[in-house]
Structure 1
């Protein structure tokens, strides 16, 4: 049996499409777990309606605790030998779970591709049908896999319950919890199967879910994630050099946080204090001093971050915001 865990929070606009796509799977032996994480809209009622018409669905209502808390509740009550996660505003093609289950066999994990759905258009991320050994292949191809979001999401993946054991998402982490979860799981694996299916649709049209808010501890968290990736590689593939993709992601995450600080409603003193946490971090300065062939919207602030130029960064992002407003009018 495959347990499908769906964390649900204020997703009434897309929830029915999500649940219907799961119920319509050609792979039928499912334990469908809907975790209503204290929704304030009609999401909880929608879950209950589906539970009444499909005996494979179980609904659990809880106080809001965040997506990691909801996924952990799902793991606690799962009855399947296998686990997969689907976000409540995403959907899947009817053949996805059957194709993933057909490939996992004696492997420890199966990973499929996905399609990002956004206003800018759909973008496919596809893998080949192949077997990846851990740590040799996975770590030697770390940058390629990392760039393709292999490590950064729990969706379009099949996990084995006996390997997961008591492993859970860190509910104290609001950024990069999926990355940390996957690194921990992979450390217990010997073989991962990638599947050419691109039947998962990652929905970036949901403005509410995609809205970025400044969380002050994200500054420490992006550095922690960078170090976690480096430590993972050092432990399991010690002969590898520095990961360009980890450095690039740390750089981009830092630039995005600087932008959020600039646009926040905090006082100038508070903004300066937060920004300098990054702009005085030696590792951040180091990665910003490297040329990643970024678009100018990132390359200019990269250079400013490398020089610790907080005042010029503020000017850059103010101009960027004004230009965006003009173009949108």
Structure 2
């Protein structure tokens, strides 16, 4: 039974942490190295970690100054010794067989992922699995890259519903200070892979909180960080010669640049040229016209948008 290193960033989650840790330590797959990264918590989160460590010697606690989710994950990666790596958010819950299913089916793939299921804060997720519907699918690196936004999106993007072979993270880290950090690294993760597996079971339970890191997804920073991540991926597609994926993603970015947060100086907008707008076949004629108007005159464009919003 190979060892799985489980990295859990912890920051001021005293209301949810106990349930998360119980779902990890009670996993049917027992060979776990549980790395709890206290990211400078100011509530009782560290005490909860210590309580669990006293009764389970698989737990390691490492503490650092507050730096955010990416910083905590990256710090945890410095301490792992397992054959596999998993990232679990400290307010979420796992099915009791989460690691058993993933480890049993990963085979020669570089990582495997499952479906996640959202549940409202204050409720308990239903954890019934219908084995009769179980399916496993193997996908090549290129197939996964070119279908990121269609193949079980967003399950394909987030880091927490996956089991990775450790080598993937040898020289790869999450970007500090970004929201949607998973969007920034997914193409780099896939660059380190030959094949990926997917199982169609809901084994990871994602808690929807009113004040979590990713709540208010329409906030300016969240939106602009996501746009930056997509722009980075676009440049990767260009470098690798994935023409179809490049055109689809560029069309999506073109549409997103019409959002109110995107100024005329935004790098994603500035990277779009007249020829891109004229030749990209994935965008609708109305969007093409609007983008051309913006390239000609920012004032004309803003007047049109203001009229639409009245």
TM bin (shorter chain): 0.7 to 0.9
8 A contact 1:110–1:194 mirrored in 2: yes
8 A contact 1:140–1:237 mirrored in 2: no
Q: Supply the distance in 2 between the matched residues of 1:304 and 1:140 (Cα, whole angstroms).
A: 25
Counterpart residue number, 2:109 = 107
Number of residue pairs aligned between Structure 1 and Structure 2: 285
Normalising by structure 2, we get a TM-score of 0.77
Counterpart residue number, 1:225 = 229
Counterpart residue number, 1:197 = 201
Aligned equivalent of 1:144, options 126, 134, 150: 150
8 A contact 2:237–2:245 mirrored in 1: no
Counterpart residue number, 1:283 = 272
Counterpart residue number, 1:75 = 77
SS of residue in 2 equivalent to 1:111:
strand
Counterpart residue number, 1:184 = 188
8 A contact 1:32–1:57 mirrored in 2: yes
SS of residue in 2 equivalent to 1:200:
strand
Q: How does 1:1-329 map to 2 (within 5 A)?
A: 1-118=3-120, 128-135=135-142, 137-145=143-151, 148-171=153-176, 173-209=177-213, 210-211=215-216, 214-215=220-221, 219=224, 221-240=225-244, 242-244=246-248, 247-248=251-252, 251-252=255-256, 255=259, 258=260, 275-278=263-266, 281=270, 283=272, 286=277, 290-291=283-284, 309-310=301-302
Structure 2, unmatched stretches of 5+, are: 126-132
* Aligned-CA RMSD value: 3.6
Q: Supply the distance in 2 between the matched residues of 1:292 and 1:118 (Cα, whole angstroms).
A: 40
Structure 1, unmatched stretches of 5+, are: 262-273, 294-298, 320-329
